[in-house]
Structure 1
Amino acid sequence: MDQPTVGILHPGSMGAAVAACAATNAADVLWCETGRSTASVERAARFGLTSVATLAELLDRSDIVISLCPPAAAESLAREVAGYRFAGMYVEANAISPERTQRIALLLPDATVVDGGVVGSPPVGGKTPTLYLSGPAAATERIETLFADTTVRAAVLGTEVGKASALKLSYASFQKTSRVLVALAVGMAREHGVDQELIEVASRRTDSYLSEPQYVAKTAARAWRWGPELEEAADALAAAGLPPEMLRAAASTLARWNDAKDSELTLTDALDRLAQP
């Protein structure tokens, strides 16, 4: 099979790194520079992505389009793509609920939609995330081939659109809420001057996130992405008849750090911001 041309919408820290892995088995990887930030331009250049002037050109030249954007933008982006009658393969790889993924598939009647969910950190510095896939068998097989022999491991879950999104959000609901609970526990302990003792207690249990309080600052820097992801997971819980309140509370807690986007905070800074919204 000829090597496909791939388009990435839009290359954030995860999207750019995933796109760079796709370049291993692609003829070219395109992105649309119009309206993007200076940071995006620099990131795309660093990962060797090819800039095009318009979304129309990207869609016209791409066989496969991968959507990796903030969750809130997933549907509006798909609607924009649909407006150009894109008829290639559309990988909906955002952290959104299965129901939203299925709605997006209906928005793109001319395209072949594959449901994707990335579990793990961006594929840089030795990190090897897994891209879970579900959808038409021939399409998921083609995406597996695209990422063969790269640091992104592709794994197919079946033919039902929604499965990959469900797995991604199920994992995120545990992992991200656990990090929020660490921040609250350490913040409460600090208020009473027993934070070091708390960390010492937790360090005897090496399998506990509580033994890694330094990660609180990283949680704060990622809160702008994690909060909407947990809202999506809460929607998925509610749709399954399960109580969503815990995840909505975690998302509300993360919102206190929204202005810390991608910043280099100390643990003290992060806890101060959490206590002083």
Structure 2
Amino acid sequence: MTTLGILHPGSMGAAVAAQAAQHGVDVLWCPEGRSRATKERADQAGLQPVDDIQEMAVRSDIILSLCPPASAEVVASSVAAHSFSGIYVDANAISPASMAMICVTMGRSGAQVIDGSVIGSPPSARKTARLYLSGPDDSLAPVASLFKGTAVDARPLPGGIGRASALKLSYSTFQKTSRVLAAVSYALAQDYGVEEELLDVAKGRTTSYLAEIEYIPKVASRSWRWAPEMREAVSALSETCLPTELAEAAAIVMDRWADTKGLPLELQEALGWLHKIPEG
């Protein structure tokens, strides 16, 4: 039976790992240095604790990295340091260039590397997520099989390393930037007392994020993670000589929400943070 290691079970990582565990896969995680909330998520997901990364590297056939993008290379290095030689799936929102660096890092330990990306909400009994996979053909099937019949829809992509990362950031560049622009637009309208009129205009377009003002506090509370993702999008865009200014601007806006992680924000509070200029 295949053994899967997960680094680290945040909201998305725990949900993805839980689907594999429910499918009968042994899923390992490392509590060392993790928060109480992470430990609670891991317990609820049915994950099995190990003493350290070395034990995970020895026992796992496949290791899946799902962490904030700014930590992706550090996490990969911590696994490579223990000579992991199985299949390493980096499913973080990182640029193809960052993915290539991780391939070099993991290649030194003899691991087979898969480029992955998750698009969608954390999978559950009511929601599905897509796990896109690209890389060596002989490594894609074992990873996809972990999630057969679950709420994780594993989809191999042709073309090798970089394709899954590029797809994720192509989607994120629009989706997350649009959410940020909706917040800024609504904040400006509110400052001039025309927010109701703006909503009336937006509701005439059923696909507009401007009509989803209840989502703005969620954008604020997730910006600690989304800002690094936008900076990875900047890298991806610059690699192909496309304009980077909008993604750069989105990250700068998200920086104003950097200290809202975990706060139960209301709409007015989330908008208020946009008026605060970061120190330095």
What is the TM-score of this pair, normalised by structure 1? Answer: 0.97
Check conservation: 1:7, 1:66, Cα contact below 8 A: yes
* Offset of residue 243 of structure 1: 1.1
Matched with 1:201 is 201
Tell me, in whole angstroms, the C-alpha distance in 1 between the residues paired with 2:44 and 2:146. 21
* Overall identity of the aligned pairs, in %: 51
In structure 1, runs of 5+ residues without a counterpart are none
Q: Which of the residues 92, 95, 98 maps onto 2:96? A: 98
Tell me, in whole angstroms, the C-alpha distance in 2 between the residues paired with 1:148 and 1:124. 14
The one-letter code sitting in structure 1 at the alignment partner of 2:219 is T
* Offset of residue 221 of structure 1: 0.9
Is 1:80 aligned to residue 70 of structure 2? no
Tell me, in whole angstroms, the C-alpha distance in 2 between the residues paired with 1:122 and 1:81. 24
The one-letter code sitting in structure 1 at the alignment partner of 2:239 is A
* Offset of residue 234 of structure 1: 0.8
Matched with 2:240 is 240
* Offset of residue 262 of structure 1: 2.9
Matched with 2:7 is 9
Check conservation: 2:69, 2:94, Cα contact below 8 A: yes
Residue range with higher mean Cα deviation, 124-133 or 94-103? 124-133
Tell me, in whole angstroms, the C-alpha distance in 1 between the residues paired with 2:157 and 2:90. 15
Tell me, in whole angstroms, the C-alpha distance in 1 between the residues paired with 2:233 and 2:165. 9
CA displacement 1:195-244 (0-9 Å, x = unmatched):
11111111111111111111111100111111110110011001110111
* Offset of residue 124 of structure 1: 2.5
Partner-residue secondary structure (3-state), 2:213: coil
Check conservation: 2:11, 2:122, Cα contact below 8 A: yes
Tell me, in whole angstroms, the C-alpha distance in 2 between the residues paired with 1:137 and 1:184. 43
Matched with 1:192 is 192
* Segments of 4+ moved more than 6 angstroms: none
Tell me, in whole angstroms, the C-alpha distance in 2 between the residues paired with 1:206 and 1:119. 22
* Offset of residue 26 of structure 1: 4.6
1:126-165 equivalences under 5 Å are: 126-165=126-165
* Offset of residue 24 of structure 1: 3.4
Check conservation: 2:57, 2:83, Cα contact below 8 A: no
Tell me, in whole angstroms, the C-alpha distance in 2 between the residues paired with 1:193 and 1:61. 60
* Offset of residue 273 of structure 1: 0.9
Tell me, in whole angstroms, the C-alpha distance in 2 between the residues paired with 1:50 and 1:219. 32
* Offset of residue 25 of structure 1: 3.8
Partner-residue secondary structure (3-state), 2:133: strand
Partner-residue secondary structure (3-state), 1:155: strand
Partner-residue secondary structure (3-state), 1:108: helix
